Amino acid sequence: MNTLTSTATRGKFGPYGGQFVPEVLMSALDELETAYIEAQGDPLFEAELQGLLHTYVGRPTPLTFAARLSDYLEGPKIYLKREDLAHSGAHKINNALGQALLAQRMGKRQVVAETGAGQHGVGAATACALLGLECVVYMGTVDIARQQPNVYRMQLLGAEVRPVDSGSRTLKDAVNEAIRAWVTNVETTHYLLGSALGPHPYPTLVRNFQNVIGREARGQILEAEGRLPNLLIACVGGGSNAIGLFHPFLADQDVDMVGVEAGGESIASGRHAARFADPQRARVGVLHGTRSFVLQNANGQIMETHSISAGLDYPAVGPEHALLRDQERVSYTYATDDEALAAFHLLAKLEGIIPALESAHAVAEVVKCAPAMPRDAIVIVNLSGRGDKDLDTVMQKSGSQGVRESENPL
C-alpha cells in the first residue's frame, strides 16, 4: 500500500496521472522518485518522520465525537478527524514535513512551493524553518488579499512570499510560477507540491505522506466504536486531505466515501470549482503535469474558478480521485459557498470548533446527508484545517447580524 506505482506505468491511475512536464523537469522527477523509494527502504527516514509527526506536529490528531452536531442533525454518530489540531493548523504539514525531509536527503537546500489558502504555504514554511531550508512561496494576489494572516505567518516563519499577478491570480497561477521557478533552479531546488496533484511521483508521494490521517482514524474509530465507519466525508480541492483519509479504507468495501468539491455560487453559474459536477465545463485534460478532470472551455483553455475557500479554488482534481470516481469507489458531490458558510457557523456554535472554509464544505455535506441516515450509523468527517485564517472572509460575508441571528441554530 505504501509503495510507489511501478515506474513502468509512470504513475498512471487508470487513464489519469502521468508526467506531462517540460523535458527539463523529467530528471528532477526521476531523482525525486528514486530518493523517495530509497527513503522508504531506510528505517532511519521513517523513524525521523514519525518522530517529528509525534513530537512536533502533535500526531496522532484526535478523533472527536461531535455529540451536539449528531443530536442536532438527528442522524448518525458524527466523528471529526481533527487535522485542524495538527501543528500549523491543517493536514498540509504532514506532506510538507515529509517532502522537506526528502529535499534534505537529496541535498537540496532551496524549496519552492505554491499556496492557495496559505495553509500549504504555512506548512512548507514551517517545515523549512524546522529543517533550516530556504523557502519561497508563490501565492496569487487575490489569495494574498483574502488570506492575509497566513501571508504574515509565512513571513514570520522566514519564508519569502512572492505575489503572482498573472491569470486568475489564484492557486492555478501560483502553481505556474512555482513550476517556472523550479524549472529555472531545478538542480538546487525542490518543488514542495502541496496536494495530490501534478506529475508523477507527486500524487502518490503526497497521498502516502497524507494517509497517516486515515491510518490513525481507522485505529481510533475501531477503538471508540469497535467497528469501521459507514461513511467518510472530506473536501476535495486537489484532494490530498481526502485521499489521505480515504486511502487506508479503500479495501473496506462497506465503508462509503464522499468527496466534496467547491460548488461556489452555483454549478449553473459556472462560478465554482466542482470538476466532477459540471460536464459542460469539465473534461479530461492536462494541467500542471497530470491528466485528470479539468475545468476548461471548448478550446482547451483552463477556466478561472471560484470558491469562497481559496484552498478549493483550483480547476483540476487529483488523478487518483478521477480513477476512484470511475471505479465508483468514492462518490463526489459539492457544497456551495452559502452551504459551506452555514456549516462553518453551525460547527462553531455546536462544537466550539471553527473549521477552515475548505473543511466546512465537508461539514456541509454531513449536514445534508445525516438526517437520512440511521442513528446507529457512524460518519467520520475530515476537519482538514482550522478557520482562523478565514475570519475576514466570514465577517465580510456574514456580518455581525448573521452571527447573532440567522446563523445561530439554537
Partner 1 sequence: MNGTERIANAFPAHRTAFMPYAVLGYPTPQASLEVIETLVAAGADLLELGVPFSDPLADGPTIQAATQRALENGVTLSQCLATVAELRNRDVGTPALLMSYVNPILAYGVRRCVADSVASGVDGFIVPDLPPEEAGELEDACRQHGLALVYLLAPTSSPQRTALVAEKSQGFIYLVSLTGVTGARDSAPPGLAEFVARVRAVAHKPLAVGFGIGTGEQAKAVAQLAEGVIVGSALVEQAGESIERVQELAVELREALNGSEIRT
**Residues interacting with partner 1, by CB under 8 A?**
10, 18-28, 30, 166-167, 172-173, 176, 179-180, 183-187, 283-289, 294, 296, 298-302
* Catalytic residue (one of 177, 384, 389, 407): 384
Side chain identity, residue 277 = A
Query: What are 319's three cell numbers?
Result: 488523478
SS3 124: helix
Q: Is 384 a catalytic residue?
A: yes
Q: Is 97 left (phi over 0), alpha (psi -120 to 50) or beta?
A: alpha
Residue with cell 505554491: 114
Q: How far is the CB of 159 from partner 1 (least distance, A)?
A: 22
Q: Is 187 left (phi over 0), alpha (psi -120 to 50) or beta?
A: alpha
Query: What sign has the CA pseudo-torsion 3, 17, 192, 110?
Result: positive
Q: Is 358 a catalytic residue?
A: no
Decide whether 200 or 389 has the Cβ nearer to partner 1.
Answer: 200
Q: How far apart are CA 197 and CA 202, in angstroms?
A: 6
Backbone angles phi, psi at 262, to 5 degrees: -85, 110
Q: How far is the CB of 182 from partner 1 (least distance, A)?
A: 10
H helix or E strand, kind and range, residue 244? helix 240-246
Backbone angles phi, psi at 218, to 5 degrees: -65, -50
Decide whether 108 or 172 has the Cβ nearer to partner 1.
Answer: 172
Q: Are 315 and 296 in contact (CB under 8 A)?
A: yes
* Catalytic residue (one of 77, 92, 108, 389): 92
User: Omega of the bond prior to 201 within 30 degrees of 0, cis?
Assistant: yes
Q: Is 114 a catalytic residue?
A: yes
| 183 Cα distance to chain centroid | 24
Decide whether 18 or 76 has the Cβ nearer to partner 1.
Answer: 18
Decide whether 12 or 368 has the Cβ nearer to partner 1.
Answer: 12
Q: Report in angstroms the alpha-carbon separations of 128 from 58, 59, 308, 358.
A: 17, 19, 29, 24
Q: How far is the CB of 30 from partner 1 (least distance, A)?
A: 7
* Catalytic residue (one of 33, 83, 114, 339): 114
N- to C-terminal Cα separation, the chain: 45
Decide whether 304 or 365 has the Cβ nearer to partner 1.
Answer: 304
Q: How far is the CB of 3 from partner 1 (least distance, A)?
A: 20
Helix axes 391-404, 337-351, angle to 10 degrees: 70
H helix or E strand, kind and range, residue 69? helix 67-73
Q: How far is the CB of 274 from partner 1 (least distance, A)?
A: 19
Decide whether 285 or 402 has the Cβ nearer to partner 1.
Answer: 285
Among the listed residues 169, 178, 193, the one whose alpha carbon sits nearest the alpha carbon of residue 313 = 169
Q: How far is the CB of 265 from partner 1 (least distance, A)?
A: 21
Q: How far is the CB of 186 from partner 1 (least distance, A)?
A: 5
Decide whether 138 or 246 has the Cβ nearer to partner 1.
Answer: 138
Residue with cell 441516515: 373
Q: Active-site residues: which are they? A: 92, 114, 384
